[in-house]
A and B are shown apart, each in its own frame.
Chain A
Amino acid sequence: MDFNDTAAEAEFRATVRAWLEVNAADYREPPEENWKLPEFIARSKAWQAKKHAAGYTGITWPKMFGGQGLTPMHSIIYGQEESRFHVPQGLYSIGLGMCIPTVFTHGQPEVIQRYVPKALLGEEVWCQLFSEPAAGSDLAGIRTKAVKDGDEWVIDGQKVWTSFAHASDYGIVVCRTDPSMPKHKGLTMFIVNMKAPGVTVKGIKQMSGGSDFNEVFFDGVRVADSHRLGAVGDGWKVALTTLMHERLAVGGKPRYAPGYETLMKLARGVDAPDGNPAIAASDVRQKIAQTYINDQGIKLTQMRALSALSKGQVPGPEQSISKVVVAKTMQDLASFALDMAGGDGFVAGADADPELAKLQGSYIGSAGLRIAGGTDEILRNIIAERVLGLPGDMRPDKDTPFNQAVPA
């Protein structure tokens, strides 16, 4: 066993590294203060165009759609190398990671021709409009409706938790087109112009104070039938393609999140209740061990997946445990460390210790991470049902027409 690249991987890594050394030279250090949105967008677009010219966009996409036709391992190696720099990241991850693969899998040729190249080049930004106020974990409970009117569809309703909707040019939106069918059957997917009349985007301020998400309102928004993705009524199947691409993204502990080292460092400067240094306290040491086991365990589990990819195999189901472990571990560690710091762990703002401020951010952020992209509970359902083969949850509304309410 080894953790080394194959010869071909090492060669690709060296090429990428050499290119980044020259082209990402401005991004060696993190920005002194966070970029405002217009600057972030401008920098993202410039960086994407640079990557595109060098052939580092759409690494795993088929060549016929402008991609490089390479393996997931190439894409991962590029990502690893790029992450050593502080280039602008995130603006395209949903569009290119999820939306556009759905477009080129289910779109008509002229639609693919029109949208895919501009998206890859970074000229146009995309968002994904799936979740609704009443359709989160129960995603198929979508109420936003699309009604056929000649060669067009008219969309009315509301979406929520839409990342980068405020910066997007286009989105893929799943709508209910036949409420007389059971919930999974009456859905259809469309491409929607985010600048079209009737689209209103409103930012959501989160518990953390940040605004990563939006509400999006549709009021009589018209979409050409040519912009339908997949057959009428196949929206659920199409959405699963999109979500499958989401799952391919290897998730791990966020880069900024404190780990066991933070607790170790902190415990050297704090007293335990018995007056001895906290680093000598058994509960602190057990917490350090548990945090290492969880975080490092996920990292190693991902290496198992990478190892499979590197050999051209399909990774096993084990990486499905990643987010559910990482998010809760982050919360537990932050909570434990802030407890240990007493009142200092509570003082925020300019008076806060920077290390403790980071833990406060991690404590608050982890509460969101436990929900985003599948709650802890839904992820446990997925592990139990898809990996262990247990029967699905009871779903009394699964087979009834959507417009016939099931009593709660």
Chain B
Amino acid sequence: MNFDFSDEAKELGEQAKKLLAERAGTGPARKAMAADAPAMDAALWAEISELGWTAARVPEAHGGLGLSVEEVAQLAEAAGGSLAHVPLVSTLLATEALVLAGTEAQQAKYLPGIASGAIIACVAWSEPGAVNPANVKTIAKGGTLTGVKQPVADLALAHVAIVVAAGEDGPQLHIVDLADADTAAVETVDLVRRHGTLTLKATPAEALGTAGDYQDWLDRAAVILAYEAIGTAGAAMAMTVDYAKTRVAFGQKIGRYQAVKHKCADMYIKLELARAHALHGLAMIGTNGAELRQAAAAARVASLDALAYCAEENVQLHGGIGFTWESDCQFYYRRNRALVAALGPRGWWAERLVRALEQRNRAAA
């Protein structure tokens, strides 16, 4: 049995965590929160591109390193834990779409630029007013897209967007060159990561794979985002635990009180459940396993549960100081909302999980 990251992936994860501990974290996130701050840390982006992080998943034929999704997961977790102010996860999600569903020509057009860091890519998934993410309102017709995508993470930075729009067979991935697109900034609860509104009016677009490929990409995206959420949740838990070890109340460190330590234990429990499912997702991606759909949905739900709990109880266990503007608690609390918005809420993914289980049971019967 080999149910663990490869040594190579672990090593890359360690390197990424070490660099981002120095170059990112809540200090730089606080600077990035200022309204006039740049939409990313350009120096950090240059450095991580140089290190090959954006090239990790790109095949060698297109100038990349041809690594596995395990490396992508390690990078996403490191980015999530450090709140790194770079469009790394957006670009990794878009890369996954191109690697999974792009034609040779599409890959040749975009992947070398992504590998070098010259092309930043984002994912336009959410729509205004969308209650059920299965009912995509943006329409694909005759090589163009019409509709509104919002909020789109890192839109202002991106050169290309992977856009989900309804084709003849249902929702499907498209790629849109953003050079002449109608984009605008939109305010969100997350004050660090910039989001935007992409308005498409018969905007030229290329379809990326089939409707089935879109579903497969959703699984992969859910697993990658689960690792980002696990990273962020882990950082919120570490912040809580550090505080519980030092803060004194009623003559004792507050970490001695079970009301406090049991919440910390629950943070750990939720995080480990999320890790188990996310790793299952990676194993299924790596082996084209039949349980990918359920594993990915479970990873998404469990990671959102862990993140919500860690982010919320982190503020709570800090008490009044945790609610101040000066406290770092708000970064994780706000990022929780960003990661939910990125790919749809817990309930929708729980439903996807149950459908996958029903389908598997029917197949087994």
A binding-site residues for B, Cβ under 8 Å: 1-6, 9, 260-261, 264, 282, 285-286, 288-290, 292-294, 296-298, 300-301, 303-304, 306-308, 310-311, 318, 321, 324-325, 377, 379-381, 383-385, 387-394
- Whether, in the assembled complex, B354 has its beta carbon less than 8 Å from a beta carbon of chain A, the answer is yes
The answer to whether B256 and A289 touch across the interface, beta carbons within 8 angstroms, is no
Q: B residues within 8 A CB of A292?
A: 294, 298, 353, 357
Q: Chain B binding site: helix, strand, loop or mixed by DSSP?
A: helix
Q: Which residues of B have CB within 8 Å of A298? A: 273, 276
A297, B273: Cβ atoms closer than 8 Å: yes
Chain B residues packing against A (C-beta within 8 Å): 1-4, 6, 70, 241, 244-245, 252-253, 255-256, 258, 260-262, 264-266, 268-269, 272-277, 279-280, 282-283, 286-287, 294, 297-298, 301-302, 305, 347, 350-351, 353-354, 357-358, 361
Q: In the bound complex, do residue B4 and residue A388 qualify as a contact, i.e. CB atoms below 8 Å apart?
A: no
Q: A264-B358, A383-B268, A390-B241 are in contact. Are A303 and B1 (CB under 8 A)?
A: yes
B276 touches A304 (CB 8 A): yes
CB distance from B235 to the nearest CB of A (A): 14
Task: Give A300 to B272 CA distance when docked, in angstroms.
Answer: 10
Residues of A within 8 Å of B241, CB to CB, are 388-390
Cα–Cα distance between A50 and B359 once the two chains are bound (Å) = 44
Given contacts A304-B279, A391-B253, contact A324 B350 (CB under 8 A): no
Q: How far is the CA of A294 from the CA of B305 in the complex (A)?
A: 12
Given contacts A2-B1, A292-B353, A292-B357, contact A300 B277 (CB under 8 A): yes
User: Which chain B residues border A391 with CB–CB below 8 Å?
Assistant: 245, 253, 255-256
Bound-complex Cα distance A393 to B256 (A): 5
Which of A6, A311, A325 makes the CB contact (< 8 A) with B273? A325
The CA-CA distance from A274 to B245 in the complex, in Å, is 50
Task: Please report the C-alpha to C-alpha distance between residue A379 and residue B283 in the assembled complex, in whole angstroms.
Answer: 30
Q: Is the CB of A377 within 8 A of B262?
A: yes
A325-B269 contact in complex given A2-B287, A293-B301, A390-B241, C-beta closer than 8 Å: yes
Q: Are A293 and B262 in contact (CB under 8 A)?
A: no
What would be 28 A-B contacts, judged by CB atoms less than 8 Å apart?
A1-B6, A1-B282, A1-B283, A1-B287, A3-B283, A264-B358, A288-B354, A289-B351, A289-B354, A293-B277, A293-B301, A298-B273, A298-B276, A301-B275, A304-B276, A306-B3, A310-B2, A321-B273, A325-B273, A377-B258, A381-B265, A384-B264, A388-B241, A388-B261, A389-B241, A389-B245, A390-B241, A390-B256
A306 to B297, CA, bound (A): 24
A-B CB proximity, top 4 nearest: A384-B261, A300-B276, A289-B350, A297-B273
Which chain B positions have C-beta within 8 A of A304?
3-4, 276, 279
A322 to chain B, nearest CB (A): 10
How many angstroms from the CA of A298 to the CA of B277 in the assembled complex? 9
Nearest-neighbour CB distance to chain A for B135, whole angstroms, equals: 17
List of A residues within 8 angstroms of B261 by Cβ: 380-381, 384-385, 388, 390
Contact of A380 among B2, B252, B258, B272 (CB under 8 A): B258
- Note all chain A residues with C-beta closer than 8 A to B275: 301, 318
Q: Are B298 and A296 in contact (CB under 8 A)?
A: yes
Contact, CB under 8 Å: A306 / B1: yes
**A-side contacts of B298, CB under 8 Å:** 289, 292-293, 296-297
Q: Are B3 and A307 in contact (CB under 8 A)?
A: yes
CA distance A289 to B305 in the complex (A): 12
- Tell me the bound Cα distance from A114 to B338 in angstroms: 66
Note all chain A residues with C-beta closer than 8 A to B253: 391
**Minimal beta-carbon separation of B280 from chain A (angstroms):** 5
Q: Which residues of B contact A308 (CB under 8 A)?
A: 4
**B282, closest chain A residue (CB):** A1
**Known pairs A289-B301, A293-B301; A303 contacts B266 (CB<8 A):** no
Chain B residues with Cβ below 8 Å from A379 are 265
